Amino acid sequence: MVNGLVVEAAELARLYGQRAPGSAPAYQRVKDLVAEQVTAGHWAEDDALPSESQFVEALGLSRMTINRALRELATEGVIRRVMGVGSFVAPRKGSSALAGVHNIADEVRRRGHHYRARVLSVREERADPKAGAQLGLGAGGAVFHSRVVHYEDDVAIQLEDRYVNPAFAPGYLEQDFTLQTPFAFLSKVAPLGKGEHIVEAVLASAEECAILGVAPSEPCLLIQRRTWSRDALVSVARLLHPGSRYRLEGAFDTH
């Protein structure tokens, strides 16, 4: 009886061979193929992938190429790798890279899922002492304030509460944040220079629980993010995620 994983690897070899060699680097073509199999449902959550050796034999690529493809897929949350056991399709739990600042809409779509947003409010208001101090505006200075809920396959995965320095984002109040995220707009008008994350576990308020559709007892993941353009602080955001639906991931190499 033929091992099922070998059959899967053989099918991937056929699909891989249909792609133009110069269309993308080999590791990227392997990544795209695996992601397509997951998105199409050919591999379900927790299904085992072919081993690195089986990929190498079936596709005729180096182990280094296969390892890079699988490593990056794991970082992006498409698969999970268990040392000494193998690689598996990751559960459908949203994730962000621990290092770096990314557009949540892009993250959701890369996982092959549907993204949408619901805007709760976008307005100009007087900064409270904390927001005013962080943005260098002083208490009572004008600030743009937006609240947006982000969804993955119609499940709320993030409540974004953001304050923006008006000097760096003209036109912010006129944007339709169901068509582009606040992050995407700010990246255009005030390109990201650096960012800062503070991550902690919290319980959401009653209002936040209602918005996210979680029980009052469910732990949430809170990311407090500040972003700069050049040397100017542009935005301060409070990003609240249901703990059961989201995670932060990172990878490091000691070599």
Query: How many Å apart are CA 94 and CA 117, to the nearest integer?
Result: 15
Whether residue 148 has pLDDT greater than 90 = yes
pLDDT digits (tens, 9 = 90+) for 184-222: 999 999 998 888 889 999 999 999 999 998 888 889 999
Tell me how far apart the alpha carbons of residues 6 and 105 are, in angstroms, rounded to a whole number.
35
**What is d(CA 207, CA 181) in angstroms, rounded to the nearest whole number?**
22
Distance of CA 6 to the CA centre of its chain: 32
Determine the longest span between alpha carbons in the chain, in angstroms: 74
Q: Token match 């993030």: residue?
A: 158
Domain 94-249: CATH architecture, name and number where available:
3-Layer(aba) Sandwich (3.40)
Tell the CATH topology of 4-89: Arc Repressor Mutant, subunit A (1.10.10)
Structure tokens that stand for 254 in this block: 């000691």
- Asked if the model's pLDDT at residue 162 lies above 90, the reply is yes
For tokens 């990544």, the residue is: 31
| Mean pLDDT computed over every residue of the chain | 85
For residue 4, pLDDT over 60 is answered with no
pTM: 0.63
CA angle 25, 28, 31 (to 5 degrees): 155
Say whether 94-249 and 4-89 share the same fold: no
Query: What sign for the dihedral angle of Cα 183, 147, 105, 181?
Result: negative
pLDDT classification of 99: cutoffs 50, 70, 90? low
Residue 34 pLDDT greater than 90, yes or no: no
Domain range annotation of the chain:
4-89, 94-249
